[in-house]
Structure 1
Amino acid sequence: MWFTSFIISFIIGSTFTLSSDGHNDNWAVIVDASNFFFNYRHEANALSLYHELRENGFPDDHIILMISEDFSGNVRNQIPGTIYSDRSHSCNLFDETIQVDYKGYDVNEESFMRVLVDSHPEGTARSRRMLSTENSNVLVYITGHGGENFLKFRDQSAITGDDLANTIELMHKKKRFKSLFFIADTCQASTLAEQIHTPGFFSLCCSSVGESSYATHFDPKIHTPLGDRFTMSLVEYLKRHRNNRYATIEEFYRTLNPGYLEAHPVFRTDLVNVPVKTLYLADYFSYKTQVQNIT
């Protein structure tokens, strides 16, 4: 793979006191891999989760946001300058506060993998790098069009499950995470995670092999669906449990209705060495601030 020739450099940061679960900060990588206006819902997916992370205290310098197309400015958008995921159009997700780190043709499988392993060209801006450590919890969310063992980027190229497995293994060797939570909202999503055997990795994927990811409601004014069923279910669940420190990912998984999703989500936890009931939403979707810098 392209990254095997890179010189691996380790990031030496400040020393922190650790809390009971052993991680000292949180990072998130949010990827919308689709272009073309009829894929508006994928941008709405990504931005909905992005806004929820910020509501939960995530600073932008700990979120890498990758949006492959600016549909807010697309000539087909009947409400210019906006992206919505709700029927009432009450919350513009593409407001002036968002910070997009990668956009357009910069969103591709190579840039995505470079972010994960921190192997960038010289001079890459700090805002485009994920500076996680062996004591970080990392959330990786991807949405777009995929199939068995692949996810397309901008309908031009793709990342495979093998690519992803090799990248996450390299992350582990470079001590880039304590725990990595991978979420995929795409067709046949679970196949992307099947080749991964790296300790500390776990995943929640919206569909099994042979199954699709389905949109929510169609908006007659914007002429496109405003999100996907799985991601909108996740975001709504997170909103309802913002103040519940002990809400778990497993509890959310059990609320998912295969009849509504028209798919069977896969929650994989065999590579984590803690009880599933201790995988709390807050440890991945809220920014950890209860840490003391002792250097």
Structure 2
Amino acid sequence: MLFAALLFLLCFFDLASGINAHNVSQDEILRDFYSKGNNPQGHTNNWAVLVCASRYWFNYRHMANALGMYRTVKRLGIPDSNIILMLADDAACNPRNKFAGCVYANKGRHLDLYGDNIEVDYRGNEVTVENFIRVLTGRVAPSMPRSKRLLTDANSNIFVYMTGHGGNEFLKFQDNEEISAFDIADAFEQMYQKKRYNEIFFMIDTCQANTMYSKFYSPNVLATGSSVLGENSYSHENDYDIGVAVIDRYTHYVLNFLEGVNKTSQTTMQDLFNSYDVDKIGSHPGVRSDLFKRRVDEALITDFFGGVAQVQLDATDDASRRAFVPADSSLSPSDERTAIKPDLPAAPYQLIETQQPESLLRRVQTWSALCIVGFLCMICLKS
């Protein structure tokens, strides 16, 4: 009888160990799925910075360029909270606009790009070289609202689109100041040093656009532009009721290509670059990929233009979980979760350890062992 009891005890612990090992393997599978999934480069969030640097009514097409990109990234899943939209002028409300409150990108006026679901973060005189650099580098005043901040981290992919009038290594802002290729290159380097991005895709539509990325030197930056040195970028078509050109050729054909992309598309950046047609665009678009660590034909369009459904999991210990609470906080844990805190300097924090509830399996093991030991002791005493 003693031998049978010992055999039962051995089998029980062997079964319990198997169940525990199975649970561990399931945890590993889930962790691998949520942390990697189909996103091998590991980024967990996408952002877009869209800049129309031109003002005045006759630059209507530049505003339409930026709004076309805005509509596309929203359609592919990037929320307004992750988009910084900078419009140097408001063509929709210009008194010359025959279609008040609307901006169109084709002469048939099939789609209003402005509509009633648009969030402009920087408008009019707010669109300056200084503000653009501050947005990229995160060097903004503490009072700056979150909607005007680029809240990226080391896991962020950022799409930067710029349009306006430019020349050899410069782009004009508001027709009274310029940003140079060196300025943007240094801003990207600051972002890299501060771990503000995982990868950047830079696109620019202006005259001699390709010179604007010639000075980049930071890693993981992919760039493309509409025209080479000494070459102009051209408008696509005019609307005689509006009275001006409504979109540029390069942006028009890029947007046409992106219309065929959806959130689950496997279309790559190389497919986009292969779609460039010099005869249609009227200039020679360029691509710079030497700083980009991945193969361009492996980088998906949605890696920059779409939303990301990946999460970042922090390692947790089986015996305890860590929680951060303010050292001088008088709030209960439930109040801590629901309290609304302003963007103020962080208070000192202390690390506390909170014990996790003992697992049911461990309880069963413990009590079963005690019962069996007690039963064996009773047998020994009676004998």
TM-score by length of 2: 0.71
The reply on whether 1:139 has 2:159 as its aligned counterpart is yes
**Aligned equivalent of 2:230:** 210
User: In structure 2, what residue type is equivalent to 1:58?
Assistant: I
**Aligned equivalent of 1:99:** 119
**Aligned equivalent of 1:3:** none
Which has the larger Rg? 2
Distance 2:100 2:311 in 1: 42
**CA apart distance, 1:248:** 1.2
**CA apart distance, 1:204:** 0.8
Spell out the pairing of 1:246-285 with structure 2 (5 A cutoff).
246-285=266-305
Provide, for residues 255-281 of structure 1, a one-character-per-residue CA deviation record: whole Å limited to 9, x for no partner: 111122221111110011111211210
Distance 2:255 2:307 in 1: 16
Distance 1:292 1:121 in 2: 29
Distance 1:29 1:243 in 2: 19
Q: Given the superposition, is the C-alpha separation of residues 82 and 164 from structure 1 closer, same or farther in structure 2, using an over 3 Å criterion? A: same
Contact 2:263 2:306 in 1 (8 A): no
Identity %: 37
**Aligned equivalent of 2:177:** 157
- Of 188, 196, 200, which aligns to 2:208? 188
TM-score by length of 1: 0.92
SS of the aligned residue for 2:224 comes to strand
The reply on whether 1:117 has 2:137 as its aligned counterpart is yes
**CA apart distance, 1:81:** 1.1
User: In structure 1, what residue type is equivalent to 2:193?
Assistant: K
Provide, for residues 62-86 of structure 1, a one-character-per-residue CA deviation record: whole Å limited to 9, x for no partner: 0000001011111111111110012
The reply on whether 1:73 has 2:93 as its aligned counterpart is yes
**CA apart distance, 1:294:** 4.9
SS of the aligned residue for 2:236 comes to coil
**CA apart distance, 1:232:** 1.1
Let me know the Cα RMSD of the aligned residues.
1.4
Distance 2:263 2:45 in 1: 19
Runs of at least 4 residues off by over 2 Å: 16-19, 290-295
The reply on whether 1:62 has 2:82 as its aligned counterpart is yes
Provide, for residues 32-89 of structure 1, a one-character-per-residue CA deviation record: whole Å limited to 9, x for no partner: 0000100000000000110111111111000000001011111111111110012221
User: In structure 2, what residue type is equivalent to 1:21?
Assistant: Q
How many residue pairs were aligned? 280
Spell out the pairing of 1:81-96 with structure 2 (5 A cutoff).
81-96=101-116
User: In structure 1, what residue type is equivalent to 2:305?
Assistant: F
Provide, for residues 190-221 of structure 1, a one-character-per-residue CA deviation record: whole Å limited to 9, x for no partner: 11110111101110111110011110111010
Unaligned runs of 5+ in 2: 1-33, 316-383
The reply on whether 1:49 has 2:49 as its aligned counterpart is no
**Aligned equivalent of 2:150:** 130
**Aligned equivalent of 1:173:** 193
The reply on whether 1:241 has 2:261 as its aligned counterpart is yes
**CA apart distance, 1:93:** 1.1
Distance 2:157 2:127 in 1: 23
Which has more helix, going by share of residues?
Answer: 2
**Aligned equivalent of 2:338:** none
